[in-house]
Amino acid sequence: MKEYKKEFIEFLVKNDSLKFGEFTLKSKRKSPYFINTGMFKDGKGISKLAEYYAKAVKENFGEEFDVLFGPAYKGIPLCVSAVIKLSELGVNKGYSFNRKESKDHGEKGDLIGTKLDENSRVLIIDDVITAGTAVRETIEVLKKNGNPKIVGIIISVNRKEKGQGEKSAIQELEQTLKVKVTSIIDFDDITEYLHNKEIDGKVVLNDELYQKMMEYKKEYGV
């Protein structure tokens, strides 16, 4: 495993953004782990997270996009901080994000930031994709707001789970949208690196939790 992936996994654990236990996901699945990039609450943390995203974006998409779009709410700080880090890497792009509720006064509309139209090339940034529910909702928002061309999706973690069928949500999205979905790390990276490993003097993925992860993978994994 590449060193930056190990660093990113430890970074998530140390910031309580990667947790193990029992969690109900948006897809209604009961998961033994949870990824929450919303746990980055200060400038140092979000800056470091954005740095990982920016490097992954530049490596996988180069400059072949116009706008980085962050779905409300977690995607908002991700898209804003990532475009800042991208500009530091010499890639200056626009950003946009949506409101949860449409505004009917002042600057009306659902989106804030760069104005989108059918010629805009949009790269969606988010934390994770589980069953693809949130991404499909985001796509519907974009269709109603300029209907831009979606060139790709960048996430922090690929959970490598089944979507609506036997394929993973990411495989389904890639097939349906004809776009590339890229992640910094995936499920197997997490289990391989953290099993019985001490981080700050504590084992976060012991044998019992590891077994639950494997059972979850057997039921939902691809």
Residues annotated as catalytic (active site), given as ranges: 103, 105
Of residues 6, 2, 3, 4, the one with CA closest to residue 193:
6
DSSP 88: H
CA distances (Å), origin 112, targets 97, 103, 211: 5, 11, 44
- Look at the block and give the residue holding tokens 């880090």: 85
Q: Is 47 left (phi over 0), alpha (psi -120 to 50) or beta?
A: alpha
Whether the upstream peptide bond of residue 73 has omega within 30° of 0, thus cis, is yes
